[in-house]
């Protein structure tokens, strides 16, 4: 087994963000390296996780240079933050919905393809047999 860990940062430390933080910490092979959230009160979550806290996600990406980011913010921030990630060549998992604007989502998909940066939209329940009973 490799000792290399995937260095991940979470942007958005609300309820779902905290789930992602826990999953990263529990997953062998992954390492939580930073948390960003506009709300200063989220700093406590980063302190408990023993990682740096940022209120500015772009600054966090520039300074920490994570292997990937999980974007778990209010919906209207998904695409702007995902664009900041791909601009830096950082793969992103973006919680659903990626956007409320289909044209902008399609434009973003092309931007990510052109930049050759992987982006995944969080659809974790799509294949959950307990949720999607046939």
Residue 120's SS3 state is strand
Task: Give residue-wise pLDDT tens across range 37-86.
Answer: 999 999 999 999 999 999 999 999 999 999 999 999 999 999 999 999 99
Interacting residues of 13 by C-beta distance below 8 A, sequence separation 6+: 21, 35, 37, 39, 42, 45, 46, 72
- What is the pTM assigned to this prediction? 0.90
Strand partners, 121: 94
List strands edge to edge, sheet with 30-36.
53-54, 30-36, 6-11, 68-71, 92-95, 119-122
Q: What is the pLDDT of residue 1?
A: 40
Strand partners, 71: 11, 94
Task: Give residue-wise pLDDT tens across range 14-27.
Answer: 999 999 999 999 99
Examine the pLDDT at 34 and tell me if it is beyond 70: yes
Q: What is the pLDDT of residue 71?
A: 98
Determine the Cα–Cα distance for residues 93 and 117; give it in Å rounded to an integer.
11
What is the number of other CB atoms lying within 10 angstroms of the CB of residue 69?
28
- Across the chain, mean pLDDT equals 92
131 confidence band (pLDDT: 50, 70, 90): low
């Amino acid at each position: 087994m490799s000792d290399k860990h995937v260095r991940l940062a979470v942007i958005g430390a609300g309820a779902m963000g905290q789930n992602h933080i826990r999953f990263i910490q529990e997953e062998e092979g992954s390492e939580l390296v930073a948390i960003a959230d506009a709300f200063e009160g989220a700093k406590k979550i980063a302190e408990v996780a023993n990682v740096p806290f940022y209120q500015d996600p772009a600054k966090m990406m520039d300074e920490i240079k994570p292997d990937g980011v999980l974007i778990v913010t209010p919906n209207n921030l998904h695409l702007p933050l995902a664009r900041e990630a791909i601009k830096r060549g950082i793969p992103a998992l973006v919680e659903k919905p990626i956007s409320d604007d289909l044209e902008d989502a399609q434009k973003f998909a092309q931007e990510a393809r052109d930049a050759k940066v992987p982006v995944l939209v969080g659809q974790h329940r799509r294949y959950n047999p307990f949720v999607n009973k046939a």
